[in-house]
Chains A and B, each alone.
Chain A
Amino acid sequence: MFESKAGIFFIAGVGFFLLAFLGNGVVPMLMYKDRPEKSVEELVADNKRIMVQFRDLSERYPEQFKAAFGEPTEEKCAEALRLGRQIYIGEACWHCHSQFVRPVSNESLRYGPVSQSHEYDNELQRPVMFGTRRVGPDLSREGGRRGNDWHAVHFFQPSVVSNNSPMPEYPWFFDGSPDKPNRRGLAIMTYIQWLGSWLPEYPYYEELAEVTDE
């Protein structure tokens, strides 16, 4: 059996693979099977804060916003979030930024509440953006910490607002200057501002009255 073709094919090859898949994959799937996955539209409808940020973008960059998304409606916000997440993946942001706060290493002091399973039950976390490396900080509580203008300048040239930052520049998110974010620029900023916006406190550190009163 241990050296036969059938033994190796069926037991080691198929059998042990499936055993591991059951233990490591199917068990968590079954544990979470009753939790529905929210669509992006549902996320936007449940979350006034992201609309505040989206409208802020439309007021701050009116011409650019009009050309890219038209009016700041919920539907357009969902579109921007989808596009923003795809840019986050396509530009490999997730290879230098994580999206989970661990219960160790003082991370809850630096970033905010430790990540919980339910935070990932949505379309924008398929595939999940846990990340494996932090060259830059964790982003799962980044939304609302900084204004859209800060993010615009930061994407255009990170070292201007973040001293000695090794982050690459993304001038292709803009039509020439940081006050002219294009469709991609507006989308990635919407996505970043969404991160953590589902928590009771947003942003975690700075209480912005106009955001929470909305």
Chain B
Amino acid sequence: MTHTAAIPRDVPSHDELVDQKIVGAFFVAALTYLTISMLAGILMALQLVHWNPLRGVELFSPGRWRMVHTNAIAYGFLANAFLGALNWAVPRLTFHPVASKALNWFIFVAWQVIVLSTAIALVVGPSLQDQAWVMNLAREWKLPMSLGAQGLEWGETPFWIDPLALLGLALVAVNFMVPIAKSKGPMYVTLWYFMAAFVWTFLTYAMGNLLPEYTVGGTSAGAIGGLFIHDLVGLFVTPLGWGLMYYFVPILLKKPIWSHGLSLVGFWGLAFFYPLQGIHHFLYTPIPMFLQYGAVISTIAVELVVATVVINFFGTLAGRGSMFFTNLPIRYFYTGMVFYFITCFQCALQVTLTFQKLIHFTDWVVGHAHLVMFGVFSLWLFGIMIELFPRLLNRPWYSHKLLIYHYWFSSAGLFVMFGDLTLAGIFQGYYWASLQPWDVSTDGSQPFWITRVFAGLVMFAGMLCFIYDLWMTWRGVTPADWVEVTPIPKVSGN
């Protein structure tokens, strides 16, 4: 890296800073949950087209696995992958290792316990629900919920796991805040995003998993629920994702971010406008209309902010554009950014009451969710993993061709799924508004749902390529087709 010269000599070496094993461990855990989540998604997709091979099997009920699908992405894949990447980026940016390496491993184990118990509770919980002891437990402790899922989207994590998850998030914050606090001099953009994300994630999780269940009911709980699902994307996933982009993109392009001013606008605009929009998930509900208008306006405002961030990154790419074709991580990052721009542009339109009339409750929203969670953040994390695994394992990828397949299957499959579901949503909206019998809308959705199954299978095939490639790389099998198309930067200095 070119900035090595500017680093003082007494800086600890890479091995003192980064615990490479834990980065790898988090990445492997993340990929495991992503595989499970994709299989769960395929199961639900097959159910909709009447091809479910496991119909009538209680423990494979598509409804329960639908919740596993979303929770495994948020807490299994994204959280683990972010933690792995943070363990790489934060010590290297601050020149201080995490607060405690032992604590790091405790967090790793605890987080897997949290994710696995959530999955088990979601799948097995409803089967136990009619047991007398479960009902008694709920009544005696005045619990508004069961041992299984909580009735809050993305907050289904059972109530008895919530305290553990909050503790885990607090420990994560402490473990990374200590090196950030120790670092001297001006903070780099990445650390702004990370710092804010540690605060926001904890607060968001506490708000969503405690308030609507214990204290607030009815319509106000709807407002809090909207804020929760929104903040989880906007204040946990988005800042960590952009923070990592601000870290990896300049390093790979070997040049600084184009405009520091735009970085400032992007961060502070996101911080101010993003949390204000929760209620836009529940437009036309009994939530007071003036609050709904406020959420709509701030959503449109954040689109302008997003545009500045994307412009900033394309300004950075200027002059190095060919790296989009020669460097696979860069290709992943910038593909994700294009998808991010589409997502946010779509946001600014679909959030209006005019669009909501038609597309609320339809597959349009499902397409939007996949575009942002897979098309943006998963692609970014794939890029980061492709960059980091060769360094962690100290050898090149087994097959570059398989990585290219992974890229095309993931991005093209996702784009087809997004377009398909968006169209399906428009059709469904018009079917409903035209007051035709309900089955007209589900029958009319079949072509779209069938296309979605195949798009999902293509994405899964990409995933299999990636896992196989990783497996062979891990085993140290001699690269099958190694050609210097993407020279991996040498592991040197910091």
Contact = CB atoms under 8 A, between A and B. Distances in A.
Given A5-B195, A92-B66, A120 B286 contact: yes
A92 B64 CA distance: 6
Given A20-B276, A28-B220, A32-B220, A117 B286 contact: yes
Given A2-B264, A90-B126, A103 B146 contact: no
Nearest to A4: B187
Nearest to B214: A126
B200 interface: yes
B144 A123 contact: yes
Interface stretch (A47-55, A143-151, A182-190, A191-199): A182-190
Interface stretch (B250-258, B342-350, B433-441, B486-494): B433-441
Contacts of B195: 5, 8-9, 13
B181 interface: yes
A155 B232 CA distance: 34
Given A25-B211, A100-B286, A130-B225, A168 B47 contact: yes
B151 A94 contact: yes
A98 B428 CA distance: 15
A93 B63 contact: yes
Interface size classification for chain A: 35 or more
Contact of B135 (A12, A79, A107, A132): A79
Contact of A28 (B138, B291, B442): B291
Contact of A128 (B138, B180, B187, B221): B221
B288 A31 contact: yes
A3 B198 CA distance: 16
Interface residues of B, number: 98
A185 to B, nearest CB: 9
A166 B144 contact: no
A90 B211 CA distance: 19
Contacts of B61: 91, 168, 170
The winner among A109, A125, A184 for most chain B CB atoms within 10 A is A125
B287 interface: yes
B66 A117 contact: no
A64 to B, nearest CB: 13
Interface of B: 47-50, 52, 55-56, 58, 61-64, 66-67, 125-127, 129-130, 135, 138, 144-146, 148-153, 180-181, 186-187, 192, 195-196, 198-200, 203-204, 207, 211-213, 216-227, 231, 235, 264, 267-268, 271-272, 275-279, 281-282, 284-288, 291, 294-295, 356-358, 360-362, 365-366, 429, 432-435, 438-439, 442-443, 449
Interface of A: 2-5, 8-9, 11-14, 16-17, 19-21, 23-25, 27-29, 31-32, 35, 37, 79, 82-83, 86-87, 89-96, 98, 100, 102-107, 109-110, 115-117, 119-123, 125-137, 162-166, 168-172, 182-184, 187
